[in-house]
Chain A
């Protein structure tokens, strides 16, 4: 079992809709979670971090963390074609080791 798991997708949503990306993790010791966006041929770019249970909002992005259920999600409101990319979830445990999921490919169509 991978430490961080994501559905590979692709997840296809129409422009203007809400895209919901999910991630589960197996290490209960994980303390911090991150969402990265990676465009094809580019390096991962940090877009959100979340450390406490609940929601964290930043512009069109909302990260949600539920430590009891061991899942993390990212909501993208008013999705734009420019949001089309692979979204990587990462978890960090007590050893500060940053482990990534395999990513979910998001396609936003006009």
Chain B
């Protein structure tokens, strides 16, 4: 079953706590994106990786957010400390980039984060 798997699906946490979200990309995909979606801002690109190397994390607040890919089957997004304004749905998407462009990215189910 080729799909992007994200855990947890829902997370409620108190302000100041650390939150870790995990993503298992589709096997064989070499590109992983992290997005945050809110009603006001839509889908914002936070970071993305190619062959496990970070290419761009300019969309991410560096003081509290970090993204890593410890191996080809796992990407993580960590928030420490979390704040109420971080409440959003966080999506992971993966794609396979051939020699040419054209990244068809496939999304996971998302992690709905609520920081109280």
Binding site for B on A (CB under 8 A): 31-32, 34, 42-46, 49, 51, 88, 90, 92, 94-103
Can you identify 16 A-B contacts, CB atoms within 8 angstroms?
Answer: A32-B103, A44-B91, A44-B107, A45-B107, A49-B104, A88-B42, A88-B43, A92-B101, A96-B55, A96-B103, A97-B48, A97-B55, A98-B93, A98-B95, A98-B103, A100-B35
Q: Are B42 and A100 in contact (CB under 8 A)?
A: yes
Residues 54-85 of B contacting A (Cβ, < 8 Å):
55-56
Q: Are A32 and B33 in contact (CB under 8 A)?
A: no
Q: How many A-B residue pairs have CB under 8 A?
A: 63
Contacts of A96 in B (CB 8 A): 31, 48, 50, 55, 97, 101, 103
Q: Taking CB as reference atom, which chain B residue is nearest A33?
A: B102
Q: Are B55 and A101 in contact (CB under 8 A)?
A: no
Contacts of B107 in A (CB 8 A): 43-45
Q: Say which size band chain B's interface belongs to.
A: 20 to 34
Q: Are B101 and A99 in contact (CB under 8 A)?
A: no
Q: Are B42 and A103 in contact (CB under 8 A)?
A: yes
Contact with A along B97-111 (1 / 0, CB 8 A): 100011111111110
Contacts of A88 in B (CB 8 A): 42-43
Chain A nearest Cβ from B38, distance in angstroms:
10
Docked Cα-Cα span, A90 to B93, in Å, equals: 13
**Sorted from nearest, which 6 A-B pairs have the closest CB atoms?**
A102-B42, A100-B43, A43-B107, A32-B102, A31-B101, A44-B107
Q: Are A43 and B55 in contact (CB under 8 A)?
A: no
Chain A nearest Cβ from B67, distance in angstroms:
14
- Additional pairs, 19, CB under 8 Å, beyond known A43-B107, A51-B101, A102-B43: A31-B101, A31-B102, A32-B101, A32-B102, A43-B91, A43-B108, A43-B109, A44-B107, A46-B106, A92-B103, A96-B50, A96-B97, A96-B103, A97-B55, A98-B33, A98-B105, A101-B42, A102-B42, A103-B42
